[in-house]
């Protein structure tokens, strides 16, 4: 990819202060894009921007605060982004969490479901006008964990039998169902929507508040790939021709891949869409 392959393009990446998001932000800034880091912690985002500018001194970077666990915070972030970029070429919904224990957000939702699905749903729907103006791209970072996930329609907030992988796998299944439902709705606006499995990446989504969480996380990292390798497909979809043509698809290692059969359930995708509208108040 040439050094000016993304010149004139505007890219928003959530959770761009570390891991896959930071690697993607660095690469796309190096290609000439204006990259906006949407992150929860200003200090971490500013540190990431300093690192990116060390690699690319002329990088065009900006920060907007975003807490995906708060619907009001997501709405305010979307408002700021619409003001900053009436034309948005690429939105990368990258940020995510995996909570060892059940927590709830300020809105009363289970935190993994809220952060990994409801927040990105609301942010994306709110930014559709800017994406439409640029015939832009939406890239949702999902996971092959969706293969062991299922939609717990009678208990989406997992009040009963909470388990970290149960919550995480459900949220990643949501990412794929959301991708498919959104792709259909914005096809007439020439917005392309795809999702991806980055691989089993060593990132900061695994919490380390307690000693047993830290021990689990450190053992897990022995089997994980680097953020640089994990970010390749995100960068590919954001900057390459495929990301501007394919829509409603699932990718891995820069190639289209078939997700699990239950992730292709259009009835479930529509049910999730309607429920997400109800819970967030966001409508296209």
The catalytic residues are 168
Residue identified by tokens 């982004």 is: 81
Do the strands 34-39 and 255-256 form a parallel or antiparallel pair, or are they unpaired? Answer: unpaired
Strands of the chain (E only): list them: 10-14, 34-39, 60-65, 90-93, 137-141, 192-197, 249-252, 255-256
Give the number of residues written for the chain.
284
186, 178, 194, 181: which is closest to 127 by C-alpha? Answer: 186
DSSP code for 222 = T
Residues 124 and 114: their CA atoms lie apart, in Å, by 14
Give the C-alpha separation, 9 to 84, whole Å. 13
Please provide the distance, in angstroms rounded to a whole number, between the alpha carbons at the two ends of the chain.
Answer: 34
CA dist., res. 35 & res. 62, Å (int): 7
Dihedrals phi, psi of 93, to nearest 5 degrees = -85, 90
Q: Dihedrals φ, ψ of 193, to 5°?
A: -130, 120
d(CA 255, CA 238): 14
Query: In the 8-state DSSP scheme, what is residue 114?
Result: I
12 close to 91: Cβ distance less than 8 angstroms: yes
CA neighbor of 115 nearest in space, from 167, 162, 159, 191: 167
């Amino acid at each position: 990819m040439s050094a000016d392959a993304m010149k004139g393009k505007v890219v928003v990446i959530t959770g761009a202060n570390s891991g896959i998001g930071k690697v993607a932000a660095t690469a796309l800034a190096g290609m000439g894009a204006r990259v906006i880091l949407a992150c929860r912690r200003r200090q971490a985002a500013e540190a990431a921007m300093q690192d990116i500018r060390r690699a690319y001194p002329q990088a065009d970077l900006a920060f907007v605060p975003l807490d995906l666990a708060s619907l009001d915070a997501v709405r305010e972030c979307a408002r700021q982004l619409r003001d900053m970029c009436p034309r948005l070429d690429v939105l990368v919904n990258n940020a995510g969490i995996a909570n060892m224990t059940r927590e709830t957000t300020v809105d009363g939702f289970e935190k993994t479901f809220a952060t990994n699905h409801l927040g990105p749903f609301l942010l994306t729907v709110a930014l559709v006008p800017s994406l439409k103006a640029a015939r832009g791209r939406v890239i949702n970072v999902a996971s092959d964990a969706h293969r062991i996930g299922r939609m717990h329609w009678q208990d989406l907030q997992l009040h009963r039998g909470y388990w970290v992988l149960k919550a995480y796998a459900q949220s990643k299944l949501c990412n794929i169902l959301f991708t498919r439902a959104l792709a259909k709705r914005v096809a007439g606006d020439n917005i392309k929507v795809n999702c991806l499995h980055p691989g089993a990446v060593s990132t900061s989504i695994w919490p380390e508040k307690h000693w047993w969480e830290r021990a689990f996380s450190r053992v897990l990292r022995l089997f994980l790939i680097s953020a640089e390798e994990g970010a390749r497909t995100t960068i590919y979809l954001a900057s390459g021709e495929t990301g501007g043509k394919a829509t409603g698809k699932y990718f891995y290692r820069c190639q289209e891949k078939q997700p699990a059969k239950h992730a292709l359930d259009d009835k479930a995708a529509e049910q999730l869409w309607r429920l997400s509208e109800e819970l967030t108040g966001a409508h296209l």
